[in-house]
Chains A and B, each alone.
Chain A
């Protein structure tokens, strides 16, 4: 029962370094999402994808890039890390919604990222 798997779980970076966070899901879900969670601010959507080869901006996309080359994987990249990007990052996936009804999103365990 893997579900949504995020790697790495923890990472410390220096300002200006780059890195890629990997999200993999084994549920054959169409939609995938990247969120960041900061104290007192809830979950905020960074980027999302409605299918393989497609990506779109969410609420807070600046400083991040994403790619969805395979249906099961969704990568989040930080080209030049900044201290403001210190956060907990969650990946989620969901199946295609039926009509106007959305489907629940399934979350990974998160990546705790610190930028010094």
Chain B
């Protein structure tokens, strides 16, 4: 079966750092994806990890530990526009994705 857990909601201050954790137990693994979704909009791709370690993309970084079934998304220098839901998803055969419930991040001034 597939089980992906991430916190429901997080609040942080503009300019701060927020870390969104994701733990997973899945029957297959072809990589871990993070998507950003603003309210009422489509999810957009942020990052992808298939090997253990840290991937950095500007203000966003994503980490993966396959042995622990664990990933996190790190958002630095938070901006108001970063207020959105962040979706953790595990890839499997056929390019299928299984999504977690999403973490809603609220950035306050």
Contact = CB atoms under 8 A, between A and B. Distances in A.
Interface of A: 31, 33, 40-45, 48, 50, 56, 58-59, 90, 94, 96-97, 100-110
A58 B43 CA distance: 19
The 6 closest A-B pairs by CB, nearest first: A102-B91, A107-B42, A104-B45, A42-B101, A43-B99, A42-B99
A44 B99 contact: yes
Given A42-B100, A94-B95, A103-B95, A110 B31 contact: no
Chain B interface size, under 10 / 10 to 19 / 20 to 34 / 35 or more: 20 to 34
B50 A100 contact: yes
A109 B39 CA distance: 11
Contacts of A105: 33, 45, 95, 97
B30 A41 contact: no
A107 B44 contact: yes
A50 B93 CA distance: 11
Nearest to B8: A40
28 contacts: A33-B97, A40-B8, A41-B101, A42-B100, A42-B101, A43-B43, A43-B97, A43-B99, A45-B98, A48-B94, A48-B96, A50-B94, A56-B94, A58-B96, A59-B98, A90-B42, A94-B95, A96-B95, A97-B30, A97-B95, A102-B31, A102-B33, A102-B50, A102-B91, A104-B33, A105-B45, A107-B44, A108-B42
